[in-house]
Amino acid sequence: MKSMSEKVEHSPKMQTLYELVAELTDLSHIMAVLGWDQQVVMPPGGAEERGLQLAALGKIMHQKFATDEVGQLIADLEAEVGDLYAETDEARSVKVSKKTYEKQAKVPLRLLMENIQATTMAHEAWVKAKAASDFSIFQPHLEKIVDLRKQYADLFKPYDHIYDPLLDDFEPGMKTADVREIFEKLRPQQVALLQEIAKKEPADNAFIKQHYKDEYQELFGRFVISRFGYDWTRGRLDVAPHPFTTEFGLGDVRITTRYLKEDAGSALFGTMHESGHAMYGQGVPEKYKRHPLGGSASLAIHESQSRLWENIVGRSKEFWSFFYPSFQMLFPDYLANVSLSDFYRGINRVEPSYIRVEADEATYNLHIMLRLEIEIGLMEGTIEVADLPEIWNSKMEDYLGITPPNDAKGVLQDVHWSGGMIGYFPTYALGNLASVQLWDKLLEENPNVPDEIAQGKFDTILGWMREHVHQYGSKYEPQEIMLKATGSKLTPEPYIAYLRKKYSEIYDL
């Protein structure tokens, strides 16, 4: 057995691939630093030049990787390793690199550069449009992005659906038809649950819809995620218009949150959510540093981690039996007369709401289904960008029975389209399903976990995720991860059972 310090010998061609990927990883992390800076501290006037800077780096990366020489290297390595699905890191490194190469080699440099510059400018336009609640400011930028995404998808013809190449970028192996099938199973059952809950007296959550002091919210958020296992020697917490997690390497995985005057729950649960993403990034093994397998399995697997810590753990009775006294002490003006049971019911209130990231567990997936319909329509050409505010509001009424009062709480609420991330949204709902499926298996193997949570102990949870999810990096595709961890591919049934059990208890259904 080799020690961790012993250097593994690779063939010359494999070594060449590893060195190339290491350099490309460094460049991608430099781009991530610039992206983080843009969202956290860069003045708005820097957008145009930041776009040029990012495009310059993107050009260098493209010219280093999307070449005939690299294609030949990967072909030679494929012959060398044989079965790309073999369990070795070498075989899987070639498999991952081959897929990345085949996608990138199809993208002309012109389109890549245009996309980077367009999305950089679009982000600043989105920030301005959201602040003014005026979609017209963002509209021309989104029209450009949709056109670029269509051009990108066309590079991968023939496809079953134009949305497939975009979805595959975030959820490898998943097809539009697969997502639609899962959502068709989910929607009627979630709607039925909502209809049952709607007949009951709603839980009071007025205590959380207040302006808690930002500095105390930050203090509590840091306290919680430190207990979870977020490593501050390899991370930090900042503020951004839309919370996100970013990685500059295994030793630097950062999170952001936001503090809302009208809702303390945003930072409270958003910080837990982002820490779940970050602990996944921090959990990738050291051997995969600057390596083809140094990423994650998929965005849905990533989302399973964030939703697990935010909801399954962070909204549980056991969690608050430990943390509520501290939280109550920090905010006595709002919580002195709120019992633990009333607090628990309040933070789990089910109510159709405008904002996805603040949506409760029972309605959240409906927000995603709405976005999927819109994105598919944009790509098919059946929906025009100019009509989005009206279409958004119509679909909100259809799905949730409410109409946003303005663009900021409607079509402009999410940052994703400004970054060209069409195809991303379905992974949120798929991540919800995966989170419960993983949780059920964890509890089966560790039935004392709820008692540990009530004592403020989270080592078992994080350790289990490290062993069954994090340690693999991007070695396995998402369905392989689910099979290895739970014995089953992704399925909606455990999630529906979880929702029904939880909310039947809260609402006495």
Q: Catalytic residue numbers? A: 274
Residue whose C-alpha is closest to residue 309's, from 215, 225, 382 = 225
Contact between 291 and 22 under an 8 Å Cβ cutoff? The reply is yes
Contact between 205 and 223 under an 8 Å Cβ cutoff? The reply is no
Q: What is the DSSP letter of 9?
A: P
3-state secondary structure of 224: helix
Contact between 405 and 133 under an 8 Å Cβ cutoff? The reply is no
Angle at 350 between CA 461 and CA 395, to 5 degrees: 110
| Residue 399 exposure: Cα atoms within 13 Å on the Cβ side | 28
The answer for residues whose C-beta is within 8 angstroms of residue 334's C-beta and 6 or more apart is 207, 208, 210, 212
Phi then psi for residue 245, to 5 deg, are -120, 140
- The whole-angstrom separation of Cα 297 and Cα 484 is 13
Contact between 242 and 258 under an 8 Å Cβ cutoff? The reply is yes
Contacts 24+ apart (CB under 8 A), 72-80: 73/13, 73/16, 73/17, 74/17, 74/98, 74/101, 76/13, 77/13, 77/14, 77/17, 80/11, 80/13, 80/14
Which conformational region is residue 29 in: left (phi greater than 0), alpha (psi within -120 to 50 degrees), or beta? alpha
3-state secondary structure of 255: strand
Contact between 375 and 425 under an 8 Å Cβ cutoff? The reply is yes
Residue whose C-alpha is closest to residue 425's, from 438, 414, 411 = 414
Q: What is the DSSP letter of 172?
A: T
Residue whose C-alpha is closest to residue 430's, from 337, 345, 364, 333 = 364
| Residue 464 exposure: Cα atoms within 13 Å on the Cβ side | 20
